[in-house]
Amino acid sequence: MSAPRFAFLGTSGAVASAQRDNTSLVVEADGVAILLDCGGSAVQRLRRVGVDPLALTHVVVTHLHVDHAYGLPSVVRQSGLLGRRAPLSVVCRPEHVEPLRALLTVFRLWDRPDLFPIVLAPIDLTPGARALTTGALSVATTPNDHGSMPNFAVRAQAGGKALVYSSDTRPCAAVATLAQGADVLIHEATFAERDRTDHRSETHASAADAGRVAAEAGVRRLILTHVGADYHDDVAALAGEAARHFGGVIEVAEELRFYTA
């Protein structure tokens, strides 16, 4: 059983740029893959990193902000055109089952006899509850704190290695708890500390916040993602800001390359 590897298909916040697309990543172990959030053209980007879109068993939609969910109908439609017959599970919060069903219905992708089965799979909201097991991958979740938008963080592990994806959140003790003992924390860093406002800090984290959460969790490595478009030309400054609070390895996520937990 091998450790999970993962690739960022997108690393930007709500606004994409020429360098960075909306946040999405694929996690793979022993030939089985799951998609964490679904912004951008996920199928095209999966192919660019060498992952067969038909290898996906689950798409995890952490919350219903546009930049994390708008690519789902495209993934479903293209998977059908590629000949998918196996069921695809869409993992989400319980209150997001019906909105996601409605989204797929708009594009005539729900409950079609000529399309593979789509299973909407609500998570258990108990912190640390197991959400899914597929192949060698085991995934647990915990609610985080994204202001008024219900959301959750994800822990994926295989082969004795674990990574945690914060999704969008302000600094949150529940995320640090989920990340205890993990090898990698993938944490949002939407803004720099110098640009903190009450509005931003109600729903998102700065790079400094991400560093503090990584230190609290005791992880080995911190990867910053969901970087606001204003910072795409100066991501090194965000890494430096996080380093003032976390002494481990710090990187800013790069798109379309594989990492290993």
Helices 235-243 and 207-217, packing angle to 10 deg: 40
Task: Report residue 122's pLDDT band, with 50, 70 and 90 as the boundaries.
Answer: very high
**Any idea which residue has 């990584």 for tokens?**
214
The CA dihedral of 162, 166, 167, 171, to the nearest 10 degrees, is 180
C-alpha span between 7 and 212 (Å, rounded): 24
Percent share of the chain, pLDDT over 70: 100
C-alpha span between 150 and 200 (Å, rounded): 17
- DSSP of 57-116, one letter per residue? EEEE-----HHHHTTHHHHHHHHHHTT--S-EEEEE-GGGHHHHHHHHHHTT-SS-TTS-
Better-predicted residue by pLDDT, 198 or 63: 63
The predicted structure's pLDDT at residue 124:
98
Q: Which residues pair with 162 in a beta bridge?
A: 157
The predicted structure's pLDDT at residue 198:
77
- Annotated catalytic residue: which of 67, 145, 168, 183? 67
Chain segment 206-235, per-residue pLDDT in tens: 999 999 999 999 999 999 999 999 999 999
CATH code where residue 198 lies: 3.60.15.10
The predicted structure's pLDDT at residue 209:
98
Identify the domain containing residue 83 by its residue range: 5-260
First-residue to last-residue Cα distance in the chain = 13
C-alpha distances out from residue 140 to 17, 56, 154, 175, 210, Å: 31, 18, 6, 12, 20
- Domain tally, the chain: 1
Chain segment 193-211, per-residue pLDDT in tens: 998 887 888 899 999 999 9
Computed from CA positions of residues 256, 257, 260, 261, in that sequence, does the dihedral angle turn out positive or negative? Answer: negative
Active site annotation includes 67: yes
